[in-house]
């Protein structure tokens, strides 16, 4: 399986015996929107047409850290 973003190859992987596959891109994806397609090739070089498009948005900006504004202890012996 070869995965593309437009005409650019994101990476390739092999199909497992159970028919599933997974792929980690060869280089990390920058923030943005990507539209992926996949093509399958067999051992002799025949290549399928592209799959349906699959769009994702990468947002690598972490959320702000949580804040604690108040604390209430509801367990005896010290409640409050």
Query: Do the domain assignments include residue 68?
Result: no
CB 1 within 8 A of CB 36: no
| Domain limits for position 43 | 2-58
Report pLDDT digits (tens) over 40-67: 999 999 999 999 999 999 998 888 999 9
Residue 74, domain member (yes or no): no
**Is 10 domain-assigned?**
yes
Whole-number Å distance between alpha carbons of 24 and 22: 7
Pick from 19, 18, 25: nearest CA to 2? 25
Cα separation, 52 vs 43, whole angstroms: 23
Residues in the chain, overall count: 80
The model's pTM is: 0.71
Task: Report pLDDT digits (tens) over 8-43.
Answer: 999 999 999 999 999 998 788 999 999 999 999 999
User: Is 21 among the domain residues?
Assistant: yes
How many domains in the chain? 1
Residue 20, domain member (yes or no): yes
């Amino acid at each position: 399986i070869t995965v593309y973003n437009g005409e650019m190859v994101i990476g390739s992987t092999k199909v497992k015996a159970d028919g599933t596959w997974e792929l980690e891109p060869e280089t990390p994806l920058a923030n943005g929107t990507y539209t992926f397609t996949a093509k399958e090739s067999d051992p002799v070089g025949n290549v399928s047409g592209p799959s349906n498009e699959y769009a994702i948005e990468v947002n690598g900006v972490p959320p702000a850290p949580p804040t604690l504004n108040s604390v209430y202890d509801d367990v005896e012996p010290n409640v409050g």
